[in-house]
Amino acid sequence: MTLIDGKALSATIKEEIAAEVEKIKASGNKVPHLAAVLVGEDPASAVYVRNKVRSCEKVGFKSTLLKRPADITEEEVLELVHKLNDDDDIDGFIVQLPLPKHINEERITLAIDPRKDVDGFHPVNVGRMALGLPCYLPATPFGILTMLERYGIETSGKHAVVIGRSNIVGTPMSILLSRKSKTGNCTVTLTHSRTKDLPAFAREADIIIAAIGIPEFVKGDMVKEGAVVIDVGINRVEAPDRPRGYKLVGDVAFDEVAPKCSFITPVPGGVGPMTVTSLLLNTLKANRNEVYR
């Protein structure tokens, strides 16, 4: 069994990005600039955004954090989005989700200029992804494809079972794995909360992508010998023996599943770090106008 070390791979890719930034500087061009909008006080969102900003600094990007109170109006958020769309210094930006209930997330996502949508959530980018056209890939699936590629995991002709159909992970993952591409060409089964006998599908899988948000949902008897298991879940469970009183576990029962796998990602230290790094890669693409010429 090989542990896919997302933390180490992410550090390697960040070094590669930092080297690119040095080249950009040396040639006198503008360094990549990512802006992040954080609305309200959601602690998890604050941690995610802080990580993104810190990662920008680490690789030499410019970053701007725009914090707004939870009672900001939808119109004010839209105004901010329009401002960022028009700001030539900003290559890409994200609006951290979830937004407070009174703000329509769909309206905000639609207002983001697809050329600056480095989260890859705008329907234009999602459509381009589905058609195999240049686009910003959503960060988590992008990070997973990068892990498969860098660990030399063959996907062509394999049966991939994706568990969970969210717009940000499961659905794009199923599309990307099925496309005719270097990390695609899989036969994909997309399973979800209405799937009958999900374990039967999982047991047939050469590759499992678990993205449901249920702690240790994928058990040892749901995985065949030699499978590749990618665990996207990040779940807090009580752990009185830990200093913080909780620990993070994935959607996969790691101890039971790992011995059967050819490759598996841990939680933490697997998919999570790769997600932030993928956002940096998208921002670099935006800076170079690689997607929309």
Q: Which residues bind ligand NAD (CB under 6 A)?
A: 140, 163-166, 168-170, 191-193, 198, 211-214, 232-235, 271-272, 275
Choose the catalytic residue: 14, 52, 116, 285. Answer: 52
In this structure, what is the dihedral angle of CA atoms 149, 153, 159, 165, given to the nearest 10 degrees? -40
Choose the catalytic residue: 14, 91, 116, 119. Answer: 119
Rank residues 63 and 278 by Cβ distance to ligand NAD and give the closer one: 278
From the CB of 214, what's the least distance to ligand NAD, in Å?
6
The residue among 13, 15, 20, 14 whose CA lies nearest residue 288 is 20
From the CB of 260, what's the least distance to ligand NAD, in Å?
20
From the CB of 276, what's the least distance to ligand NAD, in Å?
8
Rank residues 55 and 275 by Cβ distance to ligand NAD and give the closer one: 275
Rank residues 44 and 131 by Cβ distance to ligand NAD and give the closer one: 44
Rank residues 100 and 213 by Cβ distance to ligand NAD and give the closer one: 213
Verify whether residue 180 is a known catalytic residue.
no
Query: Rounded to an integer, what distance in angstroms lies between the CA atom of residue 180 and that of residue 259?
Result: 31
Please name the residues in contact with 164: beta carbons below 8 A apart, sequence gap of 6 or more. Answer: 170, 191, 192, 210, 211, 212, 213, 232, 251
User: Residue 268 burial by CB count (10 A; 0-12/13-18/19+): exposed, middle or buried?
Assistant: middle
From the CB of 164, what's the least distance to ligand NAD, in Å?
3
Verify whether residue 52 is a known catalytic residue.
yes
Rank residues 80 and 148 by Cβ distance to ligand NAD and give the closer one: 148
Cα 10 from chain centre: 12
From the CB of 55, what's the least distance to ligand NAD, in Å?
13
Rank residues 109 and 191 by Cβ distance to ligand NAD and give the closer one: 191
Query: Count of CB atoms within 10 A of residue 61's CB?
Result: 23
Cα 227 from chain centre: 22
First to last CA, the chain: 43
Choose the catalytic residue: 14, 96, 116, 251. Answer: 96
On whether the CB atoms of residues 36 and 49 are closer than 8 A, the answer is yes
Query: Rounded to an integer, what distance in angstroms lies between the CA atom of residue 143 and that of residue 55?
Result: 15
Query: Rounded to an integer, what distance in angstroms lies between the CA atom of residue 260 and that of residue 195?
Result: 24
The crossing angle, in degrees rounded to 10, of helices 6-26 and 43-59 is: 50
From the CB of 187, what's the least distance to ligand NAD, in Å?
19
Verify whether residue 96 is a known catalytic residue.
yes
Query: Rounded to an integer, what distance in angstroms lies between the CA atom of residue 201 and that of residue 281?
Result: 33
CA distances from 85 to 67, 105, 117 (A): 17, 17, 9
Tell me the catalytic residues: 52, 96, 119
